[in-house]
Amino acid sequence: MHKIALIPAVLLALLLAACASTPGTSGARPPDEAPAAVEQYRIGVDDIVQVTVWRNPDLGITVPVRPDGKISVPLVGDVPAGGLTPDEVAADITTRLAAYVRDPQVAVILTDLRSHEYLSRVRVTGAVRQPVSIPYRQGMTVLDAVLAAGGVTEFASPSRSELYRSNGENTRRYAVKLDRILDRGDLSTNFKVAPGDVITVPERIL
């Protein structure tokens, strides 16, 4: 008897899990990129970068990233750094140095993340009471960001809201049914945000 009684409970648990994992009707769901975005930090303008070359201390430098996104490295000259990860910059310098140094081993370390606070912000624009640029916090969602902007105005069209996310090469848009989030508590499009995300709430079309 106990085993038979357990069957409905198991089926109910499976059904709830399936519903929780099903994307909303608004289209694609953005990946939860927040942890990866922190781990794969991309260098920004004014960040201080330290370049070291094993067994070649004269080639080591510690410099800020220039407004053009480049740094100057001995022997090889200007090297792009802005928008790249330290590993990507190190690989580029290694390739360039190979023409001058035998088997170069390059390390790139960020010693001062001056651009981090700017790059890590989440922005809410459009028909909200107070467009804002707020610091990213782990676990932050679309609703958190919109509430920080004071909510939507009477002229808003929350059903057409969108989240914009850039990966450095292109920007993707994700539909956010903000009306369902605010009015019905439907959290299927209450996506977790990532550093650099932009949330837009358009005005109604008259």
DSSP readout, 72-141? EETTTEEEE-TTS-HHHHHHHHHHHHTTTSSS--EEEEEEE-TTHHHHTEEEEEESBSS-EEEE--TT-B
pTM for the full predicted model: 0.53
Report pLDDT for 166: 85
Number of C-alpha atoms within 13 angstroms, CB side, residue 175?
12
Residue 90 has pLDDT above 60, yes or no: yes
Domain limits of the chain?
Answer: 48-114, 119-201
Tokens 């490295």 label which residue?
Answer: 73
**Site of tokens 């390059």:** 106
pLDDT tens, position by position, 46-61:
889 999 999 999 999 9
Q: How far is the C-alpha of 135 from the C-alpha of 89, rounded, in Å?
A: 27
Q: Are strands 70-73 and 106-112 parallel, antiparallel or unpaired?
A: unpaired
pLDDT band at residue 25, thresholds of 50, 70 and 90? Answer: very low
Specify the pLDDT at position 151.
Answer: 96
SS3 assignment, position 153: coil
Looking at domain 48-114, its CATH architecture is 2-Layer Sandwich (3.30)
CB 180 within 8 A of CB 188: yes
Lowest mean per-residue pLDDT among 82-91, 95-104, 115-124 = 115-124
95: phi then psi, degrees, rounded to nearest 5 = -60, -40
Q: What is the CATH number of domain 119-201?
A: 3.10.560.10
Q: What digits encode the pLDDT tens for the residues 126-185?
A: 999 999 999 888 899 999 999 999 999 999 999 999 999 987 678 899 999 999 999 999
DSSP H helical ranges for 131-197: 142-148, 178-184
The size of the chain, in residues, is 206
Provide the 8-state DSSP code for 12: H
Measured distance CA(158)–CA(176) in Å, rounded:
8
